[in-house]
Copies of this chain bind each other. A is one copy, B any other.
Amino acid sequence: VAGEPIPLVALDLIGISVFAVSGALAAVRRDLDVFGVLVLATVTALGGGVLRDVLLGATPPRALRDWPYLAVPAAAGLAAFLWHPQLRRLNRIVLLLDAAGLGLFTVTGTAQALNAGLGYAGSCVIGLLAGIGGGILRDVLLLEVPAVLQRDIYALAAVAGTVLISVGYGARIIGAHRTGSHALGVAWEVAAVAVVFAIRIVALRRRWSAPHAH
Contacts and interface: CB of A to CB of B under 8 A. Distances in A.
Instruction: Say what secondary structure dominates the interface of chain A.
Output: helix
Contact of A28 (B71, B122, B151, B213): B213
Interface stretch (A8-16, A139-147, A181-189): A139-147
A127 B71 CA distance: 17
A36 B211 CA distance: 10
Given A64-B122, A70-B122, A146 B156 contact: no
Contact of A121 (B30, B31, B67, B119): B67
Given A121-B70, A122-B70, A141 B151 contact: no
Nearest to A118: B60
A50 B59 contact: no
Interface string A80-122: 0110100000000000000000000000000001001011111
Contact of A33 (B116, B118, B125, B149): B149
A179 interface: no
B210 A33 contact: yes
B145 A65 contact: no
A55 B42 CA distance: 15
Interface in A36-92: 36-37, 39-40, 42, 50, 54-57, 59-61, 63-67, 70-71, 81-82, 84
Interface of A: 27-28, 30-37, 39-40, 42, 50, 54-57, 59-61, 63-67, 70-71, 81-82, 84, 113, 116, 118-122, 125-126, 136, 140-146, 148-151, 153, 155-156, 209-213
